[in-house]
Chains A and B, each alone.
Chain A
Amino acid sequence: MVCGVEGLQCGTICCGTGNLASVAGLLFSFLAFIFSKKASKAAKQAQQFALTRSLGEDINNASKTASEIVTYVRSEKAEMAVVRISELIGVTIYIIARWDAKLSELSKNRLLKVREQLHLVHDLLGKTPMGELSARDKTTLARFCREVPTTFVEEYGVALREVDKKV
């Protein structure tokens, strides 16, 4: 009887220890789950941050090329301008394709406009020497020099704003 009681007590203690271990196990599993969730969220944020930063880098490089083109146009170096314009057309197409999911509809519309402006000026500089451009073509060039670098600078700002939101 005594032995039975002891046995019972021992069983209760063992059972209590077992329960405690189960609860502790559950708690650790729960904590591990919470931490893994947090780690996964942090990893996702880091990935998003890196992607947005790259988008910013791409647009910043395009912006620098656009400024170079304007310098060539203003100093009437048409051949150099045409070469750099061809490059920038390619880069603009790449940015729209590569960052399709990251760019807003407005940004994509603005980049599509830039691409067409680049085509227009490319053809214009290719067909006539700069000194012989008509008043109408000069208006087109002036609009190009004013709008294209500004668009890239603004889009760079938009990309940086996205990075700021994630920091």
Chain B
Amino acid sequence: MENDQALALFDEILVRTKEGRIPWEPLGSDTLLAAIKGKRSLLLMPYTTTDSWGNERGGPSLTVKDSSDRELLRVTSEIEGVRPEALQELYEAARRQAFKVDEQVQDLLSDLRSL
């Protein structure tokens, strides 16, 4: 599926996430959310769809919603130019930021060194 806007948006979100500029937060145990300027929200899930049994299928997916709860865009690896590895990279970078993984690991390291 070709979608230039979705591809451009995904690239920008990936770059901004790597720069640590997007305020990703944990929503559930593995779903991540970033609210952008009180107008839109980005939802990052570690899967693409769920089947009727509730099993999660596919790689990470990104959904953009507006303030009225309308789904504006959905980015999955089905979009031409969006590589599954890049989506996984985005999810991992966002997860590390949302759960403050780097800070926690640093803190743990200094705790371990002081033992």
Complex Cα distance, B47 from A136, in Å, reads 14
A113 touches B35 (CB 8 A): yes
Asked if B103 lies at the interface with its beta carbon under 8 angstroms from chain A, I say no
**Chain A contact patch, size range:** 20 to 34
Do A105 and B37 have beta carbons less than 8 Å apart?
A: yes
Q: Does A107 reach chain B (CB closer than 8 Å)?
A: yes
Give A122 Cβ to nearest chain B Cβ, in Å.
12
A115 within 8 A of B: yes
Task: Using known A-B contacts A112-B41, A128-B54, determine if residue A96 contacts B27 with beta carbons closer than 8 Å.
Answer: no
- Beta-carbon nearest neighbor of B23 in chain A: A109
Q: Is the CB of B38 within 8 A of A139?
A: no
B72 nearest CB across to chain A (Å): 13
Chain A, interface SS category: helix
Classify chain B: how many residues form its interface, as a range: 20 to 34
Question: Is B25 an interface residue when CB atoms closer than 8 A count as contact?
Answer: yes
Q: Say whether A108 contacts B54, CB under 8 Å.
A: no
Quote the shortest CB–CB distance from B109 to chain A (angstroms): 25
Distance in angstroms from B79 CB to nearest chain A CB is 22
Partner of B68, one of A97, A103, A124, A137: A97
Give a binary string over B45-71; 1 marks a CB under 8 Å from any A CB, 0 the rest.
000001000100000000001011100
Q: Which residues of A contact B (CB under 8 A)?
A: 89, 93, 96-97, 100, 103-110, 112-113, 115-117, 120, 124, 127-128, 136-137, 139-140, 143-144
**Nearest 4 A/B pairs, CB to CB:** A108-B38, A140-B28, A109-B35, A112-B35
Interface on B for A, CB 8 Å cutoff? 23, 25-31, 33, 35-41, 43, 50, 54, 65, 67-69
